[in-house]
A and B are shown apart, each in its own frame.
Chain A
Amino acid sequence: MQKWGMVIDLDRCAGCQTCTVACRTENNVPFCGDGNAWKGRAIFWNKVITVRIESHGSQREGEPSASPGTNNHAGPRLRFLPMPCMHCERPPCVLVCPVRATTKSVDGIVMQVPSRCIGCRLCQASCPYSRRYFNWQEVDYPGTLKEAVNPDVSIRTLGVIEKCTLCVHRLQKAREQARDENREIREDEYVPACVEACPAKARTFGDLNNPDHAVAKLARSPRAFRLLEELGTFPQVSYLHESTWKSESRKSVGAEDEEEIDG
């Protein structure tokens, strides 16, 4: 069985929020409007958050490291952290859900079943990453706007929790095709919308159980870390630390050796 996982390279991430929109359009995530946004009710299965790193260098574990001395700005620095659901191996939300509306599927996806959910928001409270969203109001797609709804994903009603599903409908489609052709799922056949859309190619997605897959390799790389590892949730989404400028591999050159570089 696969264990789907993702690696997000924070060095590549530009903080452009393409993943957010890709996710919203793919999964029929509603917008909440100005009346609700300021109350913190906007739904983002995939949110890019801004981490402020104070200049004196105190930083929390799990945050991208600042490279001191490379930025002459005396104040704090900002870093951008794209946050999908972490799909923990030991998810606290699954433990506390009173109605089994959220489950850990056999292939490692923490699923939310909105049609089962009673909206008690316990999972939301228990998620250390705050990656669950409650529908504080009925979805509102005025006029023709609802035509753009993706028919592969249900529209959640009011009063239920929703969250990132790693675009499980794409997995179903790919799996069905693969089974029909009597083979395993190919590596590139199933990627979530955010991974597909990421313009800076910061996200790598695949089977963590397949040691040859890029995602498994990256997840073991020395740059890799996982958020809030001390809580023991074992997220299946890992991050790669930001690097600093390195120019040593090609030695500094004048105009003369330019041909050498090109060759």
Chain B
Amino acid sequence: MGDRDISVYLRPLLRTTWKAYALLAVALAGACWYFYGAFIYQFFHGHRVTGQGTHGAMWGTIVANIVQLIGVSHVGIAISATVRILQLKRYQQLARIAEFVTLVSLTAAVCNIAGDVGRPDRFLYNVVMHGNFTAPFVWSATVITNYLVGSCVYLYLAMRRDIYLCSRVLTRRRWLYRALALGYSDTPEERENLERTVWWCAVIILPIMVSVHSVYGWVFGLQPGRPGWFNPFQAPYFVLGAIVTGFSGVVAVVAIIRRIYRWEQFFPNRLFKGLGVFLGFVTLLYLYFLFSEVLTGLYASPEAERGVFHDLLFGRFSWIAWTATVGGMIVPFWVLFVQGANPKIQSMKIVVVGAVPIFFAMWGWRYLITVPSFFHPHIPYKLAEYSPTLFDWSLVLATYCFAIFFYTALVKLLPILELPEHFVPARPVRPPRIRLATMRGLGFFKRATISFTLASGIGLIAYGIHSRFDVLTPAPAIWISGIVCLWTIPLQVCLIPGFPSRRHMLAHRARQEPALLRPPRPLVTAVGLAERSSSPAIESWVDRHQRAHRGIRRRARMRVWA
């Protein structure tokens, strides 16, 4: 009966066990160590505390971790946007879990980047103010900002209705939800507006997602000095890698959440089967890419490059490569393939068993992208072995602690499932009483600001790019602020009230809004179910939901506005 009861959906927000607090505490300790270690300890002692070295691996586990985290971050939005655009209702509840994964891993990745540079104090300021147009790192700063801002906007807008409902249902932290809802009151116009905006956001954010990992591929791929990196294949390879990593990560996260909150009805085994099939498919594709890259590398004409791949397959890194490939890709692929092909199998566990090794194998391959190349320089330097120190490993671990902390906090603060449309506030809060003239004015204002924002955003980006070689102009700051500017457009669309709708006009003309004038009831009862299902058996949640959905929309409207 879960889908009828809003408390099922809001389980994480209603009750927090001591286990959750313990997890939060441990994760917070790890996160604190991360920030102390990466930003304070390392800042004053230098990177000598890591295992890296100039004639050795100048990038190490941290960079591998960054690539991994950025990879993980892709899939959240990818799933969410795909679900929205393709209307894959079965996977709908996956969307926000994955979006949170995006937000968390992207933040963790940015923290990792900031910790990995030698002077984190200068890092943000200098990149933004003195960025070099030709540097892939600046592009990555641009696209990551873009992605971070965009995914926040998208996530927020997609979540806005649920937050609003929370603010109506929950007594705890009501101020937060009320603040976050930002004046949303779930009127049909608002809802429609929101849905449309979110859909467009999803359309826009998909290519951005591709761009981020492509750019990260180019950070490696545009370096002629590094054998094994300088490769046109790098961008698609990274994107595909991101999908594999992200999917495996999301599968694990969803499995954990289903287990903790007993949400079997939302994430049935069938759903996992589908995820498993897709993961298996992309893993196979990745293996194919990998094979093709390594094969090319082994036949490469520059000796150094050949050396890298030889070392990878048969040299000192071979144990990582082979363990990762066989144990973390081929075997899991087989597991996923079998479970996908065999109609009798529908098991979350099997999919998770397949996905988790893939996640670690991908981490291994990130490491193998980063490190071996340093051991085959073009010039025969004497090289120092790279052995990541305890500090390195502790930072890697602490990053995940930070991610876990962040994720748990999000789960505990925000609704992680989408509340179906059949939940509507029985007594919506009274929309502000605004005079019609004001409403009209706001309408003009909204159009003006949006077009102004659009123009200034595009203008800023163009100006930034135009003045990219001018030393006095902080070009990246300009184009990044242009991008941020553009991302305020969906917010404006949703936040600023537009022209009064016809219904509003009518209501205005009638000068009476009986339903709205009634004082609100106590909150717990403020939200009720618009309709009780006649069929108690839950065979297909989706079908029922869809049926209910159609009915609710019609009836709810009648009820409120009758």
- A178 within 8 Å of B by Cβ? no
Interface string of A135-151 (1 = CB under 8 A from B): 11110000000000000
Q: Which of A50, A83, A95, A138 has the most CB of B within 10 A?
A: A95
- B136 within 8 Å of A by Cβ? yes
The answer to whether B53 touches A40, judged by C-beta atoms less than 8 angstroms apart, is yes
Contact of B379 among A117, A122, A227, A233 (CB under 8 A): A227
The answer to whether B380 touches A49, judged by C-beta atoms less than 8 angstroms apart, is yes
Chain B neighbourhood of A228, CB < 8 A: 378-379
Chain A neighbourhood of B374, CB < 8 A: 125
Chain B neighbourhood of A160, CB < 8 A: 118-119
Shortest C-beta distance, A134 to chain B (Å), equals 6
Total A residues in contact with B, Cβ cutoff 8 Å: 56
Contact of B225 among A50, A129, A230 (CB under 8 A): A129
How far, in whole Å, are A232 and B230 apart by their CA atoms in the complex? 13
The answer to whether B223 touches A130, judged by C-beta atoms less than 8 angstroms apart, is no
- B54 within 8 Å of A by Cβ? yes
Contact of B126 among A49, A99, A129, A233 (CB under 8 A): A99
- B241 within 8 Å of A by Cβ? no
Given contacts A118-B126, A128-B378, contact A38 B134 (CB under 8 A): no
- A116 within 8 Å of B by Cβ? yes
- B131 within 8 Å of A by Cβ? yes
Chain B neighbourhood of A135, CB < 8 A: 46, 118
Chain B neighbourhood of A134, CB < 8 A: 47, 54, 58, 118
Chain B neighbourhood of A97, CB < 8 A: 132, 135
Chain A neighbourhood of B377, CB < 8 A: 128, 130
The answer to whether A136 touches B53, judged by C-beta atoms less than 8 angstroms apart, is yes
> Secondary structure of the B side of the interface?
loop
How far, in whole Å, are A120 and B471 apart by their CA atoms in the complex? 21
Q: How many A-B residue pairs have CB under 8 A?
A: 174
Q: Which of B47, B53, B54, B131 has the most CB of A within 10 A?
A: B54
Interface string of A92-116 (1 = CB under 8 A from B): 1011111111000000000000001
How far, in whole Å, are A137 and B225 apart by their CA atoms in the complex? 25
Quick one: which of B353-384 are within 8 Å of A by CB?
Answer: 374, 377-384
Shortest C-beta distance, A196 to chain B (Å), equals 25
The answer to whether B54 touches A40, judged by C-beta atoms less than 8 angstroms apart, is yes
Chain B neighbourhood of A118, CB < 8 A: 117-120, 122-123, 126-127
Given contacts A49-B379, A125-B58, A130-B377, contact A96 B137 (CB under 8 A): yes
Shortest C-beta distance, A203 to chain B (Å), equals 18
- A126 within 8 Å of B by Cβ? yes
Interface string of B29-59 (1 = CB under 8 A from A): 0000000000000010111100111111011
- A159 within 8 Å of B by Cβ? yes
Quick one: which of B115-154 are within 8 Å of A by CB?
Answer: 116-120, 122-123, 126-127, 130-132, 134-138, 141
Total B residues in contact with A, Cβ cutoff 8 Å: 50
Name the CB-closest residue of A to B374. A125
Shortest C-beta distance, B371 to chain A (Å), equals 11
Chain A neighbourhood of B47, CB < 8 A: 119, 134, 136-137, 158-159
Name the CB-closest residue of B to A33. B48
The answer to whether B138 touches A159, judged by C-beta atoms less than 8 angstroms apart, is no
- A168 within 8 Å of B by Cβ? no
Name the CB-closest residue of B to A63. B380
Chain A neighbourhood of B119, CB < 8 A: 117-119, 157, 159-160
- A20 within 8 Å of B by Cβ? no
Shortest C-beta distance, B376 to chain A (Å), equals 11
Name the CB-closest residue of B to A132. B54
Shortest C-beta distance, B62 to chain A (Å), equals 11
- B222 within 8 Å of A by Cβ? yes
Shortest C-beta distance, A42 to chain B (Å), equals 8
The answer to whether A99 touches B381, judged by C-beta atoms less than 8 angstroms apart, is no
The answer to whether A231 touches B224, judged by C-beta atoms less than 8 angstroms apart, is yes
The answer to whether B46 touches A136, judged by C-beta atoms less than 8 angstroms apart, is yes
- B513 within 8 Å of A by Cβ? no
Contact of A231 among B118, B135, B219, B225 (CB under 8 A): B225
Name the CB-closest residue of B to A91. B225
Shortest C-beta distance, A61 to chain B (Å), equals 9
Quick one: which of B216-274 are within 8 Å of A by CB?
Answer: 219, 222-226, 229
Name the CB-closest residue of B to A36. B48
How far, in whole Å, are A231 and B116 apart by their CA atoms in the complex? 28
Given contacts A41-B48, A41-B53, A159-B47, contact A96 B222 (CB under 8 A): yes
Quick one: which of B158-212 are within 8 Å of A by CB?
Answer: none
- A43 within 8 Å of B by Cβ? yes
Interface string of B423-443 (1 = CB under 8 A from A): 000000000000000000000
- A39 within 8 Å of B by Cβ? yes
Chain A neighbourhood of B303, CB < 8 A: 60
Shortest C-beta distance, B387 to chain A (Å), equals 9
Given contacts A128-B225, A128-B378, contact A120 B137 (CB under 8 A): yes
How far, in whole Å, are A134 and B384 apart by their CA atoms in the complex? 15
- A52 within 8 Å of B by Cβ? yes
Interface string of B93-135 (1 = CB under 8 A from A): 0000000000000000000000011111011001100111011
Which 5 interchain pairs have the tightest Cβ spacing? A119-B118, A159-B118, A40-B384, A40-B55, A128-B225
Known: A100-B471, A116-B126. 5 other contacts (CB 8 A): A39-B51, A41-B56, A41-B384, A122-B137, A127-B225
28 residue pairs bridging A and B, Cβ less than 8 Å apart: A36-B48, A39-B48, A40-B55, A40-B383, A41-B53, A43-B54, A51-B380, A96-B136, A96-B137, A98-B132, A99-B122, A99-B126, A99-B127, A117-B119, A118-B120, A119-B118, A120-B116, A125-B59, A127-B225, A128-B225, A130-B225, A130-B377, A130-B381, A134-B47, A135-B46, A137-B46, A138-B46, A233-B224
